[in-house]
C-alpha cells in the first residue's frame, strides 16, 4: 500500500486467526467439530475500522465468545501495542449445521458445554 498501512481486508484475516486460536482452545476447531458431526458456517461478520495499522506497528488481536445459545457470536479487538490504541473492533456470527447440512436452531449442548468450560 502506498500509504504504508495495512489493507482493510486483512483485518478479517486477523479476526479469523484469532477465532481459530480461540476455537482450538475450546476444543471446537474444524476437526473437533467434524468428530462431533457438526460444522460452523459464518452467517455474518463486521469490522469497524478505528485507526489504520501501519506496516511497522506491533499489534494483538483478542477474540472472545459473547453469546452461544442460538449462534456463536465472537467479538474481536485489534489493538496497536506500538501506540497503545484500539485500531478495530468486529464480530462474527457462526451458525451450526449437522452432518446432513441441516441448520440447527440451538447450539448443541456439547458445544455449549465446551464454551462454558473454556470460559471458566
Is residue 117 domain-resident? no
Is residue 110 domain-resident? no
Is residue 23 domain-resident? yes
pLDDT at 1: 58
pLDDT at 119: 72
Is residue 116 domain-resident? no
Q: What is the pLDDT of residues 105-120, one digit of tens each?
A: 999 999 999 999 987 6
Is residue 48 domain-resident? yes
Is residue 15 domain-resident? yes
Is residue 57 domain-resident? yes
pLDDT at 118: 83
Q: What is the pLDDT of residues 2-60, one digit of tens each?
A: 678 888 899 999 999 999 999 999 999 999 999 999 999 999 999 999 999 998 899 99
- The whole domain housing 68 covers 10-102
> Domain tally for the chain?
1
pLDDT at 111: 97
Is residue 2 domain-resident? no
CATH number at residue 68: 3.10.129.10
Residue 61, φ and ψ in degrees, nearest 5? -120, 125
Q: What is the pLDDT of residues 72-98, one digit of tens each?
A: 999 999 999 999 999 999 999 999 999
Any residues with CB less than 8 A from the CB of 56 and at least 6 apart, and which? 4, 82
Amino acid at each position: 500500500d502506498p500509504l504504508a498501512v495495512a489493507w482493510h481486508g486483512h483485518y478479517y484475516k486477523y479476526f479469523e486467526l484469532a477465532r481459530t486460536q480461540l476455537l482450538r482452545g475450546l476444543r471446537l476447531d474444524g476437526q473437533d467439530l467434524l468428530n462431533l458431526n457438526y460444522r460452523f458456517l459464518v452467517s455474518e461478520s463486521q469490522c469497524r475500522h478505528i485507526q489504520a495499522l501501519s506496516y511497522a506497528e506491533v499489534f494483538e488481536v483478542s477474540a472472545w465468545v459473547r453469546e452461544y445459545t442460538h449462534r456463536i457470536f465472537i467479538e474481536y479487538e485489534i489493538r496497536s501495542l506500538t501506540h497503545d490504541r484500539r485500531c478495530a473492533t468486529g464480530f462474527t456470527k457462526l451458525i451450526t449445521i449437522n452432518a446432513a447440512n441441516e441448520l440447527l436452531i440451538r447450539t448443541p449442548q456439547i458445544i455449549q458445554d465446551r464454551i462454558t468450560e473454556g470460559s471458566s
